[in-house]
Amino acid sequence: MLLFTAPANVFAENTPPDAPQTELHTTPVVMALGAAPTTLDSRFSSSATASRITKLLSLPLIRLADDFTPTPIAATSFEKDGNAIRFELGDWAFVDGTPFEAKHVKAYYENLQNPEVGSPFMGLYKHFERIEVNGPKTVTFYLSEADPFVMALFTRPIMLPNASLYKDDPAVYPVGLGPYAVAPESTLDKLVLNLSDHWKGEQPASKTLEFVTVKDPLVRVLKVRKGEANLLQNDVPVVLMEDAQSKPEVDVTSAKSFNYTYLGFNLENPVTGKKAVRKAIAHAIDRELIIETLMYGKARPAYSLLPESHPAYWQAPLRAHNIEKAKQILDDAGFTPDEDGTRLTIRFSTTNNPSGLLLVQAIQHQLKQAGIAVDINISEWGTFYGNVQKGNFQMYLLSWVGQFDADFFRHVFHSANMPPNGANRGRYFNVKMDVLIDKLWHGKDLTEPTIEIQKLQHEDVIYIPLWRQDHMAVINKNTKGFKLKPDGGFEGLLSTYVE
């Protein structure tokens, strides 16, 4: 039996040394976003922006540290006994004043499991056999099978399911446990978060946070420079970030990130489904050149989905830039050049985001050197993401945002987790991979199968790993206390205030 207890202060790690916590700053902190969140309901918030904002609106039962050690948050303690996990809950309240009790935890997780609700995370909770309320502040989860990674499933911010603060719209006005509540005048394009009257944790530095959607990256930077917004984070071409460093009215800061940018492929497609094509693409891309020129060195090569701090991290050998080798691989696979030197054409799906489009165009130019013509298919984020989910693509560029444990491989590579059941978007199928992933749940040793999974991913070229781009922020000089988080989270706003 394992017992864990909560730290004294939930947000103590975010307290800046220069922000007087006895004073609540009333000037709103305004963050400019490139795209609005699609929902603030944590049952459905799968996009990075939505996930980051929901963490300001509610608390999870636990959080995972950089070394994946679980720390109780909304819970005061938990204990694991076989396939049962029991939580003792803290003295919290939802933003509508409802006292936080075990019945709310049960309702939230059963809602996630309900097929009629249609949460994209439903498949992750299929082995939750039952949930028992053992008292107002005690709840126990029983699993149908052992799961060494189960604690990661308790990191989702808890909200009252189907409840709304205003206008009967949980997507905009969810009822969470966090320090902030969505103001009634808010829309997803212009969110106003006010300090909850029922918050019992460490006091944030500012009473109000605002998130304003400004699609044009140059306009976003200008708004921060003019003081119309206080800061922005990422989602701006690095060249604009570099230019902003010379402006006296702003500070530009950067930090290493966990984010993993990769090329994904439709493995059921007759062209991109060929391993030889994917290997040739890997050798045709000059990753280092892109990092140094388009990203101004603000990135480092990615070797694994897992962060370097993971005990089973394996540093995959990168396929070095070699155009002649790429051509030879294609020759051997029967892709000979026509009179124009073109061997094959691939449709490259991307969004109209200027930062991503610039990278896609650079990759298009590099692949052309190997005789691979690229047809860039540009669409709005919603259309793009929907096509990726449906398998309507050949190749795409995306990033996994955040910090992942080895259980994530089941979500993205197991054949049982093709959409809509998971994120195996490339429709990858390999019995050997399924066996390795299943071994994680049923074997005693986690390290060996996790390393073997990474090796097989490299061998089968499921993804082409590209880079981990640094997080970057442009901050107006009148704004203090903001710190970038390695996972790109917005929790640094809890310590941010305007002078």
| pLDDT of 67 above 80 | no
The CATH superfamily holding the domain 260-469 is Dipeptide-binding Protein; Domain 3 (3.10.105.10)
| pLDDT of 21 above 60 | no
Would you place residue 467 in the very low, low, confident or very high pLDDT band (cuts 50, 70, 90)? Answer: very high
| pLDDT of 190 above 70 | yes
Following CA atoms 334, 336, 338, 343 in sequence, which dihedral angle do they give, to the nearest 10 degrees? 80
**What mean pLDDT comes out for the span 61-73?**
89
Average pLDDT of the chain?
A: 92
6 or 205: which carries more pLDDT confidence? 205
| pLDDT of 284 above 50 | yes
**What mean pLDDT comes out for the span 307-335?**
94
Give the CATH number of domain 180-253+473-498: 3.40.190.10
352 or 112: which carries more pLDDT confidence? 112
468 or 21: which carries more pLDDT confidence? 468
| pLDDT of 88 above 50 | yes
Q: What is the pLDDT of residue 407?
A: 87
pLDDT tens profile 358-374: 999 999 999 999 999 99
Q: Among 43-52, 178-187, 336-345, where is mean pLDDT lowest? A: 43-52
**What mean pLDDT comes out for the span 436-462?**
92
d(CA 107, CA 158): 10
Q: What is the pLDDT of residue 486?
A: 86
The percent of the chain in helix, strand and coil, each rounded to the nearest 5, is: 30, 25, 45
Would you place residue 48 in the very low, low, confident or very high pLDDT band (cuts 50, 70, 90)? Answer: confident
| pLDDT of 352 above 70 | yes
| pLDDT of 5 above 70 | no
User: At the topology level of CATH, where does 2-25+42-154 sit?
Assistant: Dipeptide-binding Protein; domain 1 (3.90.76)
Q: What is the pLDDT of residue 60?
A: 97
What is the domain partition of the chain in residue ranges? 2-25+42-154, 180-253+473-498, 260-469
CA distance from start to end of the chain: 49
Q: What is the pLDDT of residue 13?
A: 40
**DSSP H or E stretch at residue 471:** strand 471-476
Q: What is the pLDDT of residue 342?
A: 96
Would you place residue 206 in the very low, low, confident or very high pLDDT band (cuts 50, 70, 90)? Answer: very high
d(CA 139, CA 160): 16
d(CA 359, CA 258): 19
pLDDT tens profile 217-263: 999 999 999 999 999 999 888 888 889 999 999 999 999 998 899 99
Q: Among 13-17, 330-334, 382-386, 446-450, where is mean pLDDT lowest? A: 13-17
Does a cis peptide bond (omega within 30 degrees of 0) precede residue 420? Answer: yes
Longest dimension (CA), the chain: 76
| pLDDT of 1 above 60 | no
**What mean pLDDT comes out for the span 102-119?**
96
Burial of 254 (0-12, 13-18, 19+ CB in 10 A): middle
| pLDDT of 26 above 90 | yes
355 or 144: which carries more pLDDT confidence? 144
Burial of 6 (0-12, 13-18, 19+ CB in 10 A): middle
**What mean pLDDT comes out for the span 292-314?**
91
**What mean pLDDT comes out for the span 305-327?**
93
pLDDT tens profile 406-416: 989 988 999 99
Would you place residue 22 in the very low, low, confident or very high pLDDT band (cuts 50, 70, 90)? Answer: low
